[in-house]
A = this chain, B = another copy of it.
Amino acid sequence: MADINDNTKSITKPRGRPQAFNQEDALEAALNVFWSRGYEGTSMAELTEALGINKPSIYAAFGNKEELFRQALARYVAGPAAFVTEVKNQVTARQVVESFLLQAADFFSNKNTPSGCMIVQAALTCGRGSTVVQQELMAYRKRYEESFIARFELAKIQGDLPQQVNSQQLAKYVATIHQGMSVQASSGATREELLAIADMALKNWPTN
C-alpha cells in the first residue's frame, strides 16, 4: 500500500521564486559576526552587510535576530567547537582534558576565526532585553561542565582516575581554565602563550 506521507517524489522543484543565496553560507557568515561581536553587539544592519542579504530575506529564512543567533550557535557547537564533545572519546580522563585544553589553545588563537569562545563571550553581560540569550549561554556552559563530570565518573569506574577525586570540582577547574583561556585569547594571547597556560594547568593532574 502506498504511504500517504510519501515524500520520495519531492524531487520536484519548489513552487515559487528560488532563494538567491546559500542558506548555510549565510548562517556561517552570521556565526562569524555573532562570534566576534556578541549577541547585542551585533546589529541587523551589520548582519545584512555581512550576509549580503536584505533584512526581509533574513527574517524569512531564519525568523528573527534571536532565532538566527540560536541557529548560528548550534552551528558553532556542531562545527568549529565540535572538538569539545569529541575529546571525550579519548581513552583516559587525563587524555580527555589534555586533548581538550591543547585543542582549545589552537582553536582560540586560530587567525581565521574570531578569538575566544562564543559561548563564553557572546552575552556575559547584556541589557535587560537579552537575559534570555544570556541564560541560554549559561545553560550551554553548565551542560558542557556536566558532560565532563560524567566523563570523569566513567574514568573512575574504568580505573584511570583515582576514586577520591571530586569530579564536580575537577570539571569546574577544567571549565575555569577553558573560560580563562577564552578571555586571554580575546585579549590577544598567542597560541604559544595559551599552550603554556594549558601545560601549567595540566601539571596539576590528580594522582594517587
Knowing A40-B41, A125-B121, A138-B188 are in contact, say whether A197-B183 is a contact too (CB < 8 A).
no
- Residue from A180, A181, A189 with most neighbouring chain B CB atoms (10 Å): A180
Tell whether, in the assembled complex, residue B197 and residue A173 are in contact, meaning their CB atoms are under 8 Å apart: yes
- Please indicate the chain B residues that have their CB under 8 angstroms from the CB of A141 in the complex: 183, 187
Contacts A40-B41, A126-B41: A193 and B172 contacting too (C-beta < 8 A)? yes
Q: Which residues of A contact B (CB under 8 A)?
A: 36-38, 40-43, 46, 116, 120-122, 124-128, 130, 138, 141-142, 166, 169-170, 172-173, 175-184, 186-189, 193, 196-197, 200-201, 203-204
Whether the pair A122, B125 counts as a contact (CB closer than 8 A) is yes
* From B125, B187, B204, contact of A138 by CB (8 A): B187
How close is A137's CB to chain B, nearest CB, in angstroms?
9
Task: Give the docked Cα–Cα distance between A196 and B124 (Å).
Answer: 23
Question: Which residues of B lie under 8 Å from residue A184 when comparing CB positions?
Answer: 172, 175-176, 179
CB distance from A79 to the nearest CB of B (A): 19
Pair A41/B177 contact, Cβ less than 8 Å? no
Question: Which residues of the partner chain B approach A176 to less than 8 Å between Cβ atoms?
Answer: 177, 180-181, 183-184, 197, 201
Write 8 A-B pairs (CB below 8 A) sorted by A numbering. A37-B126, A41-B126, A172-B184, A173-B200, A176-B183, A179-B184, A180-B183, A182-B183
Residues of B within 8 A of A128 (CB): 37, 46
CB distance from A32 to the nearest CB of B (A): 13
Residues of B within 8 A of A200 (CB): 169-170, 173, 204
The reply to whether B127 and A41 contact each other, CB–CB distance below 8 Å, is: yes
A38 contacts B179, C-beta separation under 8 Å: no
Q: Smallest CB–CB gap between A63 and chain B, Å?
A: 22
Bound-complex Cα distance A42 to B127 (A): 6
Say yes or no: B172 contacts A197, CB within 8 Å. Answer: yes
Cβ 8 A contact of A37, one of B125, B170, B182, B196: B125
